[in-house]
Amino acid sequence: MALSPKLEIRQGQSLVMTPQLMQAIKLLQMSSLDLTSYVDAELERNPLLEAVETDGPTIDERPSEEAFTASGSADHRDADPGDGGADGGAGAADGDGEWLHTELNTGAEEIAARLDTDLGNVFPDDPGTRSAATASDPRQPDPWQTGLSGRGAGTGSGSGEDYNLEAFVASDTTLASHLGDQMVLALADPVDRMIAQQLIDSLDEAGYLRIDLDEAAERMGIDRIRLDRVHGVLKTLEPTGVFATSLGECLALQLAEKNRYDPAMARLIDNIELLARHDFPALKAACGVDDEDLAEMIGELKALDPKPGSSFGDTLIQPVVPDVIVRPARDGGWQVELNSDTLPKVLVNQTYYATVAKSARNDTEKAFLTDCLQTANWLAKSLDQRARTILKVATEIVRQQDAFLSQGVQYLRPLNLRTIADAISMHESTVSRVTSNKYMATPRGIFELKFFFSAAIPASGGGDAHSAEAVRHRIRQLIDAEKPEAILSDDTIVKLLNDEGIDIARRTVAKYRESLRIASSVQRRREKRARMG
């Protein structure tokens, strides 16, 4: 068969991943925080984009005091905005508002008369106190009026300078700063302080020193003896237990401070792995104590803090903000709506574009403006499409998991991405991107959208499958209800679940139990017997 080149015309369809399409896919899987950061960056880069501000009413737009009084409640939406005119102001001055002017004008004089001295002598450093002579002098600026009407409106500063409100906000004390303040008092030598600062910076979040001390000494160019001496001083700092290299040492430092680190307690700490396994007979033999003394020693250990540095966490924990809110509807269904606080709102300034486009001097400026306009239109369209897609997916999830919202986690249905994708005529990858890093607020709490997708456990009688999350919940219920004299083994749990119509294997029960951080039947039996005895 001869091979020869030739030309052919074919008609076909293909999907081209343009930069706009790739960016739209990226926007779809962004969390609300990442999306806000991205939109803020686009607002700085693109002059045609404007953020939609949703601030509250200004001072002049707020209802007057009479409007609140006339309506009989704090809801000013029922009051007539016209009531806050001149008549309302006069009424306030003649009525309840009269005490305000009286106390502000005569309060300082009355206090000065009672103290028989000028207020400036009592509070010399207080800029808000003025003498009677100063108060009567119209040439002297009133700090209250300056604060309300001057350049620093609302600050109450007589000099007109704005207060830095961030200076009044209490910040959390970090573990490093807390230890650094104590270290400068415990160590006087500058070299020792530098060594101590290196050790402070090497602590983990729990307050443990997880580094090799020999390598640290070699890296800092000092001998190990000096490093151990500084390390010993740092172990005396608060909170007790920091700078320990192991859990046993951390507990030993805290017991030593309480004068409870006796030989029996030392042997208990040396065999702490037996305590983790609840092997109490072996612990009694190792410590040489009876049941009563062992129970008392274990109680003292439980009162200690195994992570003394955790209370000084310097990591900012971002609270979960739901993207979708689900509320009960009047017709017995569910009302699904987007959380408007998490949705960035942008507008394309067409007027500014028309004005600037007329003054474009060359092709480079015209191309830049055209690119900005296209990018702005695409971003506004992509944000709208993203919101619609999230709402569509969330609505279908709520429809599929109606029993969970009404009756609890035991009624959670098995669900996969294909079911949702087929119901809303979308691709599975789109549903997967929508459910990533998105949260839903329901009457039963805030859940990630991925929570509603769980594997299916077949039914033993051929009925409807059970959700894996519901089976985990049932396993926890069975274990919580067990009696100390009748601890349920994994085989027993399998039999009980089979009787309830759940076809599950023993290894699956063990896997679910471990994922719930529930100990084995042997360890639970030892622990409950120790509590009883």
pLDDT in tens, 357-371: 888 888 888 889 889
Top-confidence residue, 311 or 134: 311
Is residue 2 scored above 50 in pLDDT? yes
pLDDT in tens, 28-52: 888 888 898 999 999 999 999 988 8
Q: Is 379 within 8 Å of 45 (Cβ atoms)?
A: no
Phi, psi of 524 (to 5 degrees): -65, -35
Mean pLDDT of the 303-313 span = 82
What pLDDT, on a 0 to 100 scale, did the predictor assign at position 440? 93
Give the chain's mean pLDDT: 77
What pLDDT, on a 0 to 100 scale, did the predictor assign at position 97? 44
Top-confidence residue, 399 or 125: 399
Mean pLDDT of the 323-351 span = 90
List own/partner pairs for 168-177 with CB under 8 A and 24 or more apart: 172/312, 172/313, 172/314, 173/312, 174/312, 174/314, 175/203, 175/205, 175/207, 175/242, 175/309, 175/312, 175/313, 175/314, 176/200, 176/201, 176/203, 176/314
What pLDDT, on a 0 to 100 scale, did the predictor assign at position 83? 43
Angle between helices 224-234 and 190-201 (to 10 degrees): 70
Mean pLDDT of the 215-222 span = 86
Q: Is 213 within 8 Å of 228 (Cβ atoms)?
A: yes
